[in-house]
Structure 1
Amino acid sequence: MQPTELDRSKKNSNRLVAGVCLAFFGGMVGMAYAAVPLYEMFCRVTGYGGTTQRVEQFADRVLDRQITVRFDANVAGVPWDFKPTQRAITMNIGETAQAHYTATNTFSIPTGGRATFNVTPELAGAYFNKVECFCFTDTTLKPGETLDMPVLFYVDPDIEDVPELKNVKTITLSYTFFPIEAEKPVAAAPLAGEGTNETTTQGKLGG
């Protein structure tokens, strides 16, 4: 039986609806992926969610008020022994201080990681300024290798002007290392005289 004009119209309508749904789904997925770096950038700029600030200059004044900065270390899927070399530093607000973390690869092959960070209380993130740090940097360690990771920072004296933080005596700086994906092996071009089926591959773990 030949399809009627009505049947063909329904099929075209169904295809149109399906196409719109697929386009909408694809757009939502794309927005979700784009939202990750945008959210990260937003947090860096505003200090939202306890995200610390990255600066290139030091404080222009030091207050006669001390604050204690505690250090926390975590791993999420990385076979490393990651820890601070000291648990806390007591310093004046506006004073520049340096802390050190160490990471040791306890696995039998090279492994890579990338650190994210935050501070608590979260509102203090906008006033915790890092001049030097290892965050958001791909790091690869050989089996048994230990790496020293310094952090140079200060607490912005403007924190005194925030009523909710005026009496804060302790800030916690926390880092978490996540694994970084290995690059896919890349086939090398065959040398002259070699068969086209003979290729070598190279790859590295951890970026």
Structure 2
Amino acid sequence: MNTIHANSVILKKLLIFTLVMFGFGFALVPFYEKICEVTGINNLLQADTIAEEVKVDTARWVTVDLDANIRGLPWEFKPLQRNIRVHPGQLVEVMYEVKNNSDREINGQAIPSYSPQLLAKHLKKLECFCFSKQVLKPNETRQMPVQFMIESTLPADFNTVTISYTFFELGSDRAASDG
């Protein structure tokens, strides 16, 4: 009888733990979105922002270096242009190309980084493949657009900035395909 009582106590604790972890999983989504909003990492323009008239600073140029990296993936990943010159406030579209060089379907995700880091506060993205799972079939090649604008509030002493994306394989998908 003592073993039955001990097992029921463990079962109750495991059920409580499962419910808490399930709730924690749902709580992560708004927490993650808030972190991205505060840091400017996933700073996508909203439809109402686009409608507002944006002042383009035609007296100033900023060179944007585009970088692409992969970590642990049998992919090729590159920007179709290495750098561009833009006016602050100008909406720009650049293209990246990714190719799966393997014989299996792979899920990846790109994480952006910026240099200087303060660029995150002044960079607004309308369209971006970052933070979305990308599923590439064996030997598939895909071109992906990034539409962005550097706000005219970027300090004037920054004439060159870098936007970099690094693709990582999504771990749970790899474990599922290996097993």
Same fold flag (TM > 0.5)? yes
- Aligned residues of 2:106 and 2:174 also touching (Cα < 8 A): no
Written as runs of structure 1 = structure 2, the 5 A alignment for 1:162-177 is: 165-177=155-167
Q: Does the alignment pair 1:44 with 2:36?
A: yes
The structure-2 alpha-carbon separation of the partners of 1:184 and 1:89, relative to structure 1 and needing over 3 Å to count, comes to closer
Structure 2 residue matching 1:166: 3-state secondary structure: coil
The structure-2 alpha-carbon separation of the partners of 1:184 and 1:170, relative to structure 1 and needing over 3 Å to count, comes to closer
Q: Does the alignment pair 1:55 with 2:49?
A: no
Code of the residue aligned with 1:174 in structure 2: it is S
TM-score normalised according to structure 2 size: 0.74
Code of the residue aligned with 1:62 in structure 2: it is V
Distance 1:43 1:105 in 2: 31
Q: Does the alignment pair 1:82 with 2:77?
A: yes
Question: Aligned-pair distance for 1:117?
Answer: 0.7
Written as runs of structure 1 = structure 2, the 5 A alignment for 1:1-207 is: 40-47=32-39, 51=41, 53-56=43-46, 57-58=49-50, 60-64=54-58, 65-159=60-154, 165-180=155-170, 181-182=172-173
Distance 2:87 2:32 in 1: 29
The higher relative CO (CA closer than 8 Å, separation ≥ 6) is in 2
- Aligned residues of 2:107 and 2:133 also touching (Cα < 8 A): yes
Q: Where does structure 1 lack aligned partners over 5 or more consecutive residues?
A: 1-25, 160-164, 186-204
- Aligned residues of 1:47 and 1:123 also touching (Cα < 8 A): no
Equivalent residue, structure 2, for 1:11: none
- Aligned residues of 1:98 and 1:151 also touching (Cα < 8 A): yes
Q: What's the CA shift string for 1:79-125, capped at 9, x where partnerless?
A: 11011111001011101111110000011111110111121100111
Question: Aligned-pair distance for 1:45?
Answer: 1.4
- Aligned residues of 1:46 and 1:126 also touching (Cα < 8 A): no
Code of the residue aligned with 1:176 in structure 2: it is T
Question: Aligned-pair distance for 1:76?
Answer: 1.4
Distance 1:119 1:75 in 2: 16
The structure-2 alpha-carbon separation of the partners of 1:99 and 1:147, relative to structure 1 and needing over 3 Å to count, comes to same
TM-score normalised according to structure 1 size: 0.64
- CA-based RMSD of the aligned residues comes to 3.1
**Count of matched residue pairs:** 157
